[in-house]
Amino acid sequence: MLFFRHADTRGEPCDSTFRIGDRPGQRNLSPDGIAQARRIGARLAELGIPVDRPVLAGPVFRARDTAEAAFGAGRVLVTDSLLADDYAGPRLSWVIAEHRRLFSAPVAAGTNRVLFGHRTPAIMVAGDAVAGRALPEGAAIVVEPADRAFRLLGVLALAPIQGGGFHACG
């Protein structure tokens, strides 16, 4: 299972409204981030990594746009289960439980569940191993799902951007 943090957002305005559907009020992908997202999809294909369809993405535009640039909009299912923590409000506990469920649910043999979301919920579920600078924008957590549990195998950067990976928003 691969959980991707959205692609590069450096230089873009920080979130201001925290409302789903309000693109101008959200931090969006940079031009480098759009190119990075396309490279993520291309690299998965080049490496022959089997991907279960549809891929899942959170509704905040930077996660959704990353998935759609990587795989095409018709191959992406947008779900509140991958909502960013600062957009979740009173649903934060549910969002974290959904991340845990998606990380832990078995995947059909020979394929990979691919998710696109945000760093903080991943830290809340996977812990310090992905905290700090361990999960840059555009990188993925590689997870081995198990019934009601998962094992973190590492962090994979398929399309790193030199000098990239972290935005300046607080």
Handedness of CA 85, 38, 167, 5 (dihedral sign): positive
- Say if residues 80 and 114 touch (Cβ distance below 8 Å): no
Angle at 32 between CA 51 and CA 154, to 5 degrees: 45
Q: Establish if 167 belongs to a structural domain.
A: no
Q: Establish if 93 belongs to a structural domain.
A: yes
Q: Establish if 97 belongs to a structural domain.
A: yes
The pLDDT score that the predictor gives to residue 146 is: 83
The pLDDT score that the predictor gives to residue 4 is: 98
Q: Establish if 18 belongs to a structural domain.
A: yes
Q: Establish if 103 belongs to a structural domain.
A: yes
Q: Establish if 162 belongs to a structural domain.
A: no
Q: What is residue 50's DSSP assignment?
A: -
- How many structural domains does the chain have? 1
Q: What is the pLDDT of residues 98-146, one digit of tens each?
A: 999 999 999 989 999 999 999 999 999 999 999 988 999 999 999 999 8
Domain containing residue 85: CATH number: 3.40.50.1240
Q: Establish if 102 belongs to a structural domain.
A: yes
The pLDDT score that the predictor gives to residue 24 is: 97
Q: What is the pLDDT of residues 6-65, one digit of tens each?
A: 999 999 999 999 999 999 999 999 999 999 999 999 999 999 999 999 999 999 999 999
Helix (H, G, I), strand (E, B) or coil at 26: coil
Q: Establish if 51 belongs to a structural domain.
A: yes
> pTM (2 decimals)?
0.96
Q: Range of 120's domain?
A: 2-156
